[in-house]
């Protein structure tokens, strides 16, 4: 661990930032040294020599704030904010945003949560559409993103599979001027290193423009993950204590490519072709060693593994925007997506001198689909913004898995009592088809200058078909009708406003939870059971109420308080049953749940409270979450292992000439116990992360960015347990924290 080096690291980091800040103050940019010359223009005169009155009209898009002005509010995170810390993973960006937490240990994790809920309760969109199954949002790099939209209440334009909220990631679109930018960065932590390259190009020629974003990098890692298992009898005595250590060594190489072409036609229409290609290949080895202090170990205490794989994701769409009479507009898009994955895994298990397992597993999956979206908008009635549209698509997925075990029974030493299991060989193939269709209509009505109302209706239908080896074809069809209402009331003092939203949302069941396909566990027990889906699952339906108060007390200054409640029917939990001699987990609909949330946020420039203060921006947020699953006895019967409390605190500073900027962000995520079922529980430690950055602009075309992440170097521990009349079984694991430094050189040419 790095804990013993933490004081030295913090002192050194502070000294470096202070010294560089002093350098930036002493030697500002040359351009900033030169005073700007303003041209003076004599007033125009008529032929008779009299002055003509001139009226200057100024307009600025910066005056429009979607969060403040839109009835259906959304928070916009700009490209500048996204790139501020020099991250190479979008998850590292999201963890600093108010009300959002990113779960898991290690490199960012993948469980993105709003209101403390993930796992399908929080909707993640890519350019307004759901990403296909198998696509990892973490593969997106911040350089390829134009903005992030956060919607706390559902909108009819997007899918209402958003009980907790929606995060819409918009890839780069706008081409304003010709630009070429190259970035090289090197990241280093105690257990990883990661070089990264990025190239951005864009230009415009009359009615044609293009942009290209490409990046590639490598991630090398070498990490140790300890875990422990404790079994206790009803009287509290320990009957089994096993310690395990897992060493993983590997690397992954990835690339992203995002070309975009745009044509503006003579009649004012526009046609845009945009694609996103992502590829990754990896190779890793693992060495797991288990030692039993009390009782027995697992079947194979020593397990060696090696694996490799690759995946490619492609998304491409053509967008046509057609202007109609009287300000109406038709926006239509046709898209294609494909996903290809293949992996190979070799495992070798042994117990002392006896080799018990020699297994080779090969997996391959192919998915492709087509989608179509469209929206017709018209100012048909004065004061109204009416629109309607559709969203449909079809996708097909094929999965193949081949497993081959060597028969090691003849190799067992004579007289040995250690068991050697029979080989398990098999070929499996599964196919899934998902067809979806949605239609919506919405209207935003400015009733008065202070009061506006948004109303929307959306219908969504999904049909799923799953078939494969050893299972009959399973078909599922569901549909949800969602009425939505939001209203905004601006108080007469022009600084305060109130929002209210009534929503009907749902959580669709993924194909993996509907398929009866079985996934087996190597060490089958209550805390690591087999798993198969349930074709009889129904979607979870939620009725929601949101209320918020916003106080804009100065320029770029905000105080807000928001409260929400969700009543969920058809809650899905993981049931645990004993089938024959094996424990099996299966999802089931079981009753209802209540979710409540309170969020406080403040952000303001220091100049709002101190007239002569430096350019220092401050921000803070706190999110408190409660939930209760009625079918699970309390206490701590929270939904989806909900994060009960999260908070962020940050600041950003910039010199007057803009040659130097720095800042920091602290995020906190509470842990604690949670009860999943009557017999299953889990526990997670709280997590604290501190990130800082510094940016030096040497000239308009060259700048250097230094970022330190996870400075607190905190380990992350999780635990799962099973208890019944026979005692308690506990399994705990530790994910080591790793402070990291990343240096990025950015050049425009």
Three-state SS string over 324-349 comes to: CHHHCEEEEEEEEEEEEEEEEEEEEE
**pLDDT (0 to 100) of residue 51:** 44
Q: At 698, which helix (H) or strand (E)?
A: strand 687-699
Residue 662 in this model has a pLDDT that exceeds 90: yes
The CA distances from residue 74 to 147, 154, 305, 687, in Å, are 12, 10, 46, 27
Return mean pLDDT, the chain. 88
Place of tokens 């932590």: 189
What are the phi and psi torsion angles at 207 (to 5°)? Answer: -90, 5
Residue 295 in this model has a pLDDT that exceeds 80: yes
**CB count in 10 Å sphere of residue 682:** 19
**pLDDT (0 to 100) of residue 27:** 40
pLDDT band at 32 (very low <50, low <70, confident <90, very high): very low
**pLDDT (0 to 100) of residue 137:** 82
The CA-CA-CA angle for residues 573, 574, 580, to 5°, reads 145
Of 573, 576, 579, 609, nearest in space to 591 by CA? 573
List, in order, residues 6 or more apart from 573 with CB less than 8 Å away: 587, 588, 590, 629, 631, 632, 676, 677
Residue 16 in this model has a pLDDT that exceeds 70: no
- Give the end-to-end CA distance of the chain in Å, rounded to a whole number: 42
User: Do the Cβ atoms of 577 and 623 come closer than 8 Å?
Assistant: no
Residue 669 in this model has a pLDDT that exceeds 70: yes
State the DSSP code for 659.
S
pLDDT band at 1 (very low <50, low <70, confident <90, very high): very low
**pLDDT (0 to 100) of residue 86:** 87
Residue 158 in this model has a pLDDT that exceeds 90: yes
Least confident of 174-178, 422-426, 529-533, 675-679: 174-178
The CA distances from residue 466 to 120, 393, 516, 534, in Å, are 20, 17, 9, 11
pLDDT band at 2 (very low <50, low <70, confident <90, very high): very low
- How far apart CA 38 and CA 32 sit, in angstroms, is 15
pLDDT mean over 304-327: 95
**CATH 3.50.50.60: does it fit domain 65-410+424-748?**
no
**pLDDT (0 to 100) of residue 333:** 97
**pLDDT (0 to 100) of residue 140:** 83
List, in order, residues 6 or more apart from 534 with CB less than 8 Å away: 513, 514, 516, 586, 587, 588
Of 400, 437, 432, nearest in space to 535 by CA? 432
**pLDDT (0 to 100) of residue 111:** 86
* Higher-pLDDT residue of 21, 594: 594
Structure tokens at 502: 């009534």
Of 288, 287, 280, nearest in space to 308 by CA? 280
DSSP-assigned beta bridge partners for residue 696: 660, 704
In our burial notation (b when 16+ CB lie closer than 10 A, e otherwise), range 178-203 reads eeebebebebebebbebebebebbbe
Sheet containing strand 572-579, edge to edge, reads 518-519, 530-532, 582-589, 572-579
Predicted confidence (pLDDT) per residue in 707-732, tens digit: 999 999 999 899 999 999 989 999 99
What is the SS3 assignment for 518? strand
pLDDT mean over 170-178: 78
Residue 46 in this model has a pLDDT that exceeds 80: no
**pLDDT (0 to 100) of residue 134:** 66
Structure tokens at 640: 């989806």
List, in order, residues 6 or more apart from 582 with CB less than 8 Å away: 520, 524, 529, 530
- How far apart CA 386 and CA 381 sit, in angstroms, is 8
Residue 220 in this model has a pLDDT that exceeds 70: yes
pLDDT band at 196 (very low <50, low <70, confident <90, very high): very high
Least confident of 331-345, 514-528, 558-572: 514-528
**pLDDT (0 to 100) of residue 174:** 66
Predicted confidence (pLDDT) per residue in 70-122, tens digit: 998 899 999 999 999 988 889 999 999 999 999 754 444 468 999 999 888 99
The CA distances from residue 280 to 360, 430, 544, in Å, are 22, 24, 40
What are the start-end ranges of the E strands in 44-178? 75-77, 100-103, 111-114, 122-126, 129-130, 145-151, 165-171
Predicted confidence (pLDDT) per residue in 280-290, tens digit: 999 999 999 99
Structure tokens at 519: 């996934």
- How far apart CA 742 and CA 142 sit, in angstroms, is 15
Counting beta carbons within 10 angstroms of the beta carbon of residue 43, is it exposed (0 to 12), middle (13 to 18) or buried (19 or more)? exposed
Q: What percent of the chain has pLDDT over 90?
A: 68
Place of tokens 């090289």: 184
The CA distances from residue 317 to 261, 272, 330, 372, in Å, are 11, 8, 16, 9
**pLDDT (0 to 100) of residue 415:** 81
pLDDT band at 474 (very low <50, low <70, confident <90, very high): confident
* Higher-pLDDT residue of 325, 649: 649
The CA distances from residue 457 to 37, 40, 480, 483, 506, in Å, are 55, 55, 11, 5, 14
């Amino acid at each position: 661990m790095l804990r013993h080096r933490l004081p030295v690291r913090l002192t050194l980091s502070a000294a470096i930032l202070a010294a560089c800040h002093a350098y930036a103050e002493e030697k500002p940019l040359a351009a900033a040294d030169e005073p700007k010359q303003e041209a003076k223009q004599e007033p125009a005169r008529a032929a008779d020599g009299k002055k003509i009155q001139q009226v200057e009209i100024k307009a600025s898009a910066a005056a429009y704030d979607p969060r403040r002005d839109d009835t259906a509010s959304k928070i916009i995170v700009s490209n500048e904010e996204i790139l501020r810390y020099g991250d190479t993973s979008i998850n590292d960006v999201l963890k600093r945003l108010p009300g959002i937490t990113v779960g898991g240990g290690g490199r960012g994790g993948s469980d993105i949560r709003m209101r403390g809920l993930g796992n399908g309760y929080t909707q993640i969109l890519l350019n307004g559409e759901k990403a296909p199954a198998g696509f990892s949002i973490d593969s997106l790099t911040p350089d390829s993103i134009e903005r992030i939209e956060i919607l706390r209440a559902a909108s009819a334009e997007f899918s209402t599979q958003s009980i907790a909220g929606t995060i819409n990631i918009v890839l780069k679109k706008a081409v304003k001027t010709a630009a070429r930018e190259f970035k090289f960065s090197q990241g280093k932590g105690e257990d990883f290193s990661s070089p990264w390259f990025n190239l951005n190009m864009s230009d415009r020629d009359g009615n044609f423009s293009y942009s290209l974003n490409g990046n590639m990098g490598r991630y090398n890692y070498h990490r140790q993950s300890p875990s422990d298992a404790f079994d206790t009898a009803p009287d509290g005595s320990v009957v089994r204590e096993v310690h395990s250590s897992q060493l993983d060594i590997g690397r992954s190489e990835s690339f992203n490519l995002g070309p975009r072409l745009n044509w503006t036609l003579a009649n004012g229409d526009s046609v845009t072709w945009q694609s996103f290609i992502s590829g990754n290949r990896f190779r890793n080895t693992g060495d797991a060693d288990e030692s039993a202090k009390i009782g027995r170990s697992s079947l194979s205490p020593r397990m060696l593994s090696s694996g490799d794989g690759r995946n490619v994701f492609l998304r491409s769409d053509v967008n046509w925007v057609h202007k109609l009479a009287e300000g109406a507009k038709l926006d239509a898009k046709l898209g294609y997506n494909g996903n290809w994955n293949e992996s190979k895994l070799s495992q070798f298990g042994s117990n002392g001198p006896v080799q018990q397992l020699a297994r080779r597993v090969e997996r391959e999956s192919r998915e492709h689909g087509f989608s179509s979206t469209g929206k017709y908008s018209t100012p048909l009635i004065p004061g109204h913004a009416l629109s309607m549209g559709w969203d449909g698509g079809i996708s097909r997925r094929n999965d193949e898995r081949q497993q081959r075990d060597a028969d090691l029974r003849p190799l067992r030493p004579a007289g040995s009592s250690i068991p050697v299991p029979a080989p398990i060989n098999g070929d499996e193939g599964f196919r899934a088809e998902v067809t979806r269709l949605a239609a919506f209509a919405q209207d935003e009505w400015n009733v008065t200058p202070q009061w506006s109302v948004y109303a929307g209706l959306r219908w969504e239908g999904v049909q799923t078909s799953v078939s494969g080896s050893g299972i009959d074809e399973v078909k599922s069809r569901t549909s949800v009708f969602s009425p939505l209402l939001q209203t905004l009331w601006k108080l007469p003092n022009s600084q305060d406003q109130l929002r209210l939203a009534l929503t009907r949302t749902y959580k669709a069941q993924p194909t993996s939870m509907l398929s009866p396909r079985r996934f087996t566990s190597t060490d089958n027990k209550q805390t690591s059971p087999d798993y198969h889906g349930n074709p009889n699952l129904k979607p979870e339906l939620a009725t929601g109420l949101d209320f918020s108060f916003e106080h804009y007390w100065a320029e770029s200054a905000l105080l807000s308080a928001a409260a929400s409640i969700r009543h969920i029917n058809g809650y899905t939990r993981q049931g645990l049953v004993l089938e024959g001699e094996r424990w099996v987990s299966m999802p089931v609909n079981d009753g209802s749940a209540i979710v409540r949330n309170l969020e406080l946020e403040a952000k303001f420039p220091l100049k709002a409270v101190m007239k002569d203060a430096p350019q220092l921006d401050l921000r803070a947020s706190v999110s408190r979450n409660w939930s209760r699953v009625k079918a699970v006895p309390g206490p701590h019967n929270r939904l989806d292992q909900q994060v009960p409390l999260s908070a962020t605190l940050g600041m950003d500073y910039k010199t007057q000439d803009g040659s130097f900027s720095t800042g920091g962000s602290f995020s906190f995520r509470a842990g604690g116990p949670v009860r999943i079922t009557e017999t299953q529980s889990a526990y997670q430690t709280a997590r604290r992360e501190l990130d800082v950055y510094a940016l030096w602009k040497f000239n308009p075309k060259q700048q250097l960015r230094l970022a330190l992440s996870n400075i607190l170097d905190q380990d992350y521990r999780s635990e799962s347990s099973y208890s019944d009349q026979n005692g308690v079984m506990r399994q705990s694991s530790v994910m080591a924290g790793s402070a990291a430094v990343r240096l990025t050189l950015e050049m425009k040419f």
